[in-house]
Each structure stands twice: as C-alpha cells, then as structure tokens.
Amino acid sequence: MKVALYFGSFNPIHVGHLALANYLCEFGEVDELWFVVSPHNPFKQQDDLMDDDLRLQLVQLAIKDYPKFKACDVEFTMTRPSYTYHTLKKLQDLYPQYEFVLLMGADNWPNLKNWYHGDEILAQNRIIVYPRPGYEIDTSNLPENVRFVDAPQFDVSSTFIRKSLKAGKDVRFFLPSSIWPIIFQN
C-alpha cells in the first residue's frame, strides 16, 4: 500500500489541506494519506501554535468520515524540534509493510537541500511535489524519484485563518464543518 505523508502543524487544518489530500487519494497517486501533526517544526516559531493535542483532535475530527485519511501523532513521542528525516526513519521501522511517499509543496521543494539530512531524504524516498500559488517548478529537471502532481490549488493558509479569527471574521467555510464549533470556542 502506498501512503503519502503530509507533514504540517495544521494550525488549524483547513479545506485546502483536505482538498489536496482528497485529490491525491482519489486520482491515483496514493492509497492512503497520513496527516503527520508536527508539534514543533524547526522552521517555524512555536509562539502561535495551538496546543498539540488540540491540533491533533481537530485533524481527527476533520478526517473521521473518510477512510483513506489517517491522523498520525508519531512526532509527539519524538525529540523536538521534529525533523522529517527522523520521522521518516521511525515510520519506516514501525510500518515496513507500507511504501511511504513524502508530500511537499512547491514552496518547500527548493529548500529541501537546507533540511536536516535533506540530501538523504531526497536520495532515499519517493516525493510528490504539489503546486503552491506563486511557486513555479521546473518539472524537466526533477530526479526520477520526484513527481510533480498538477493538483488543484487553494490559496488559503492556516495563517490567514488565524489572522481572520483574531480580527473577528467568520471564516467557517474555510474550515471543515466538524471543527468549526471547537475553533469558534477557542
């Protein structure tokens, strides 16, 4: 079984995350997609992160009715900050029966060389790169193990949602309906 690993803080998860994940599962890229909730991304500040368990709960609620999605909390038990290299190794050890594929946005692709053991991640893993607004990918120069998938783009971000909520905006339609009541209360 081919499983895409979608790493992120999901602070909060939104319809853009879900639509991309759904596209990958339904249009032949992968059999399942795991949302790997990251407690601490080394490239981001922790100041504005919602509680780890709350973010995991929101992901679980958002995906509960779609059997091809799973929430993964493996990084909750690992040393922080979380490095993709270590998480990939741990998941491969825990689930040798799965073929994991790393999912990353076109905004992150050029920076992979700056990641912790980025060269090894590239050499040892299959990678799917998806489009992001404002980022072009030269698909003619991608390594054999890297595939660009022309998935639909959604110009929505968790940052936009958080800022909108702080400004008192009702952004319920950018979020899965199952998590809106919890977001609204918090």
To the nearest whole number, what is the mean pLDDT of the chain?
A: 94
Residue 11 burial (CB count, 10 A)? 21
Say how far apart CA 15 and CA 183 lie, in whole Å.
14
For the chain, give the percent of residues with pLDDT over 70: 96
What is the model's pLDDT at position 43? 64
Radius of gyration of the chain (CA): 16
Tell me the residue length of the chain.
186
Spatial contact of 5 and 88, defined as CB atoms under 8 Å apart: yes
The single residue listed with the structure tokens 């270590």 is 86
* CATH assignment, 2-185: 3.40.50.620
Q: Which residues have CB under 8 Å from 169's CB, separation 6+?
A: none
**Residue ranges of the domains in the chain?**
2-185
**pLDDT tens sequence across 46-84:** 667 899 999 999 999 999 999 999 999 999 999 998 899
Give, as one character, the DSSP assignment of residue 79: -
**pLDDT tens sequence across 92-138:** 999 999 999 999 999 999 999 999 999 999 999 999 999 999 999 99
